[in-house]
Amino acid sequence: ITPPVITIDGPSGSGKGTIAHRLALALGFHVLDSGALYRLLALAAQQHGIQTHNEAALEVLAAHLDVQFQNNHGEAMLILEGEDVTESIRTEEIGAAASKVAALARVRTALLQRQHAFREMPGLVADGRDMGTVVFPDACLKIFLTASADARAERRYKQLLEKGFDASLAAILDDIRARDLRDSQRAVAPLKPATDAIVLDSTALGIEAVLQTVIAAAKQRR
Ligand code: C5P
């Protein structure tokens, strides 16, 4: 039997990472943070001097990307070519570069198999932009989580400050708007809800209420 998958898609800062992580904990499922894959690729490209528009070189790099997702006391630890990059892939600079390499069709195809490999028993919670539309179209539950650009910028700003990064709220808001535009208007796997997705807005609801709604929906589908 194929392990069940629950997909959580949405723009950056909508809270999908937190929701995916906590839902997986509640169900005892594995987690796939697909955005981290694009961030890892962007960082690897930077380190190897490959430009974000060099599709042929990026496709090869994506196919051979040497990454490990390790579980460090319940927290995901990301290893790129033997180096711990858990924190360094979270900068706005790498986020912007990730959204550029993610717009390339051959890069997305090269990363498909790697994402499918996360589907293991007892199940998977997959978070990203195209989890319900492209990567796991047969998911048993699809959530599309949004929030206003302002709310998302503020969350990201607080996260960065907590992690000790220097940040500007205005710059983050600009960056979020640019990234939204690029992610939703690109030709391949654009950010959009699957036709069978449940759309939730965390701006007014708040993360806790969203989590409870999603857990209830997940239990109903089983
Ligand atoms: O979610 P996160 O901000 O870490 O993702 C970084 C970038 O990777 C996004 O802006 C998006 O362009 C890309 N991405 C994607 N498809 C996914 C996950 C992320 O294109 N499934």
Q: Quick one: average pLDDT of 85-106?
A: 93
The answer, yes or no, to whether residue 88 has pLDDT greater than 80, is yes
User: Does the pLDDT of residue 183 top 90, yes or no?
Assistant: no
Ligand 1 atom closest to residue 16's alpha carbon, by position in its atom list? 1
| ipTM for this model | 0.98
Question: How far is residue 54 CA from its own chain's centroid?
Answer: 22
pLDDT band at 68 (very low <50, low <70, confident <90, very high): very high
Confidence at residue 33, expressed as pLDDT on a 0 to 100 scale: 96
CA pair distance 186, 104, nearest whole angstrom: 9
pLDDT on residue 62: 98
Q: Taking CB atoms and a 6 Å cutoff, what residues make up the pocket around ligand 1?
A: 12, 34-35, 38-39, 95, 98-99, 102, 128-131, 179, 183
Sign of torsion, CA 47 159 179 30? positive
Whole-number Å distance, alpha carbon 39 to ligand 1 midpoint, is: 8
Query: Which residue out of 38, 156, 180 has the highest number of ligand 1 atoms within 8 Å of its CB and is therefore the one to mutate?
Result: 38
Query: What pLDDT is attached to residue 63?
Result: 97
Give the angle subtended at the CA of 137 by the CAs of 135 and 140, to the nearest 5°: 120
- Residue 92 pLDDT: 82
pLDDT, average across residues 75-100: 93
Separation CA 82–CA 44 (nearest Å)? 12
What integer pLDDT is reported at residue 156 of this predicted model? 87
Which residue, by CA, sits nearest to atom 6 of ligand 1?
A: 35
Lowest-confidence region among 70-74, 116-120, 137-141, 156-160: 70-74
pLDDT in tens, 126-163: 999 999 999 999 999 999 999 999 999 998 899 889 98
Mean pLDDT, rounded, for 78-97? 94
For ligand 1, atom 11: residue with the closest CA: 99
Q: Are 33 and 20 in contact (CB under 8 A)?
A: yes
Please check the confidence at residue 23 and state whether its pLDDT lies above 90: yes
Is residue 17 annotated as involved in ligand binding? yes
What is the Å distance from ligand 1's center to 216 Cα?
26
pLDDT the model gives residue 206: 87
Alpha-carbon Rg for the chain, nearest whole angstrom, is: 16
Task: Report d(CA 34, CA 204) in Å as an integer.
Answer: 26
Instruction: Indicate which residue's Cα is closest to atom 19 of ligand 1.
Output: 35
Q: Is 11 annotated as a binding residue?
A: yes
The reported pLDDT for the residue numbered 91 is 86
Atom from ligand 1 closest to the CA of residue 115 = 21
